[in-house]
A and B are shown apart, each in its own frame.
Chain A
Amino acid sequence: MRGAEDGGPADRAGTETGMGARHGEGDGRGAGPPRSAPVGDPRTEALLAAALRGERAGADGERRALVAFRAAREAEPARAARTRRRDDWRPREGRHPGRAPRTALSVLLASLTLGGVAYAAAMGGDGSAAAPGGPRRTLPAAPADSAPARPAATPHATTPVPATTPPGASVPPDHPSAARDTEARCRAYARLEGRGEALDAPAWQRLVTAAGGAEHVAAYCAGLPAAQPGGGPSNADGNTDGHTDGNTDRNTDGNADGENSADPDSGNQDGGGQENGAGGSARGQVPGRDR
């Protein structure tokens, strides 16, 4: 565009400033031209503004905009006019810092994880099969808040049914399910280490109580027998253990989550169909046998 003969002293000065600015950009410090740099003559801007802003649009454009405005106003009650990030042009101090959504997200993830742990623990205690791979598979399960499932759970969980122990169960029958809960929590603890928000959760509180203090948790978890990689073998003790300690509330969680699993959406991925079938049959047998 510009011929070489165009470069007078002023031009060269401008180029050098530009180069300096480019270097400044590189380190992100914005060492470019000063904000108030006199750029040529203010008339340049005035000139361009006058020429380009120019004419106002015809009345047609305004009329169409107003029609759209009225339409939006009519439709508004039905619409959720949520302010997205790109709609927030308030001065910076008025805006929420970007940290808030991320914090909320990690809290949500942590609660989902621990909810899944509680679910897995309760499912184990319930006699149903936990999914292979342990609590990880149960991540989608939300913490339960519905109690109606409790009656179904309580008689079952308190009934010793050694007969339904699946073949191949290798865990000693006296291994209490509370300990397995603890294992699950220890695994969750290991996963969540360093992200403190999750540690307020009730599951964490139980772990702390079991360990005898927050500072003992790591040692306590390390002292536990190594967790079985597949959840399968430990299913046995859910059926065999008859203790009621702490099972009631956990079973509430577990069953409510079980309801969720029956939902076609969250579906049967949580446990293989076979395993669910086994759990179902156990559930059917137990009360009959009990009474």
Chain B
Amino acid sequence: MQAYDGELGAAVARAQDGDEAAFAVAYRLVQPGLLGYVRGLVGEDAEDVAADAWLEIARDLRRFKGDGAGFRGWTATIARHRALDHLRRQKVRPRPTALDQDVVDLPGPHTTHDQVLENLSTRTALALVSALPRDQAEAVLLRVVVGLDGPSAARVLGKRPGAVRTATYRGLKRLARRLGTDGVTDDGPRTLGEST
């Protein structure tokens, strides 16, 4: 996703000058990650919340200053605020989806990494991330799904970079263990189903 930052930055600059096609380009580049992040925060209502965020993004586009990477951070901040507003309104728990038994269709301990890659569904991945502590889940989503670097993620979350870096590290470590991608294979099965 960072590979598109040059293109994204150029599109944003043109969109700020009123170029609608450029805004569409920026939307297509940003929306998948943004939606993934919002989904991690609010679950089912992610599309609506993301749409609200885009209204605000379009409205305030000319206020924005920065490059492509900055635009991803800026939009993530807006989306996060909309998501938190939504959660407040809904008075639902911040966790988007309970970790239902039927959701956890993780691959068995003997599947290879390639099989994992093929098999991991959006729903499962979401359930795994949602099972993390909140700060870790958000930090992982911002890094992996939105593609922000540490300082940008920290700014979105309003936390110190060191704290966010730690949260990311721990979250990814735990996810790697769940997914069996942490490279340790001689230490017994580590899938969620077996360890809980």
Measuring CB to CB, which residues of chain A are less than 8 angstroms from any residue of chain B? 1-3, 5-6, 8-11, 14, 17-18, 21-22, 24-25, 28-33, 35, 37, 39-41, 43-58, 61-62, 64-66, 68-73, 76, 81-84, 86-91
Contact = CB atoms under 8 A, between A and B. Distances in A.
Contacts of B90: none
Contact of A45 (B23, B172, B177, B183): B172
Contact of A10 (B33, B55, B184): B184
A87 B54 contact: no
Contacts of B69: 89
Given A18-B166, A48-B175, A83 B64 contact: yes
Given A6-B190, A41-B183, A52 B65 contact: no
B83 interface: no
B32 to A, nearest CB: 4
Contacts of A57: 31-32, 35, 47, 50
A62 B27 contact: yes
Interface of B is mostly: helix
A61 B51 contact: yes
28 contacts: A1-B196, A2-B196, A6-B190, A10-B177, A10-B184, A18-B170, A21-B166, A37-B169, A40-B177, A40-B179, A40-B183, A41-B183, A44-B176, A47-B120, A47-B179, A47-B181, A49-B145, A51-B124, A52-B129, A55-B122, A64-B51, A66-B20, A68-B55, A72-B58, A81-B60, A86-B74, A89-B69, A90-B66
Interface residues of B, number: 80
A62 B24 contact: yes
Interface of B: 1, 15, 18, 20, 23-24, 27-28, 31-33, 35-36, 39-40, 47, 50-51, 54-55, 57-67, 69-71, 73-74, 77, 113, 116-117, 120-122, 124-126, 128-129, 131, 140-141, 143-145, 150, 152, 160-163, 165-166, 168-170, 172-173, 175-177, 179, 181-184, 187-188, 190, 195-196
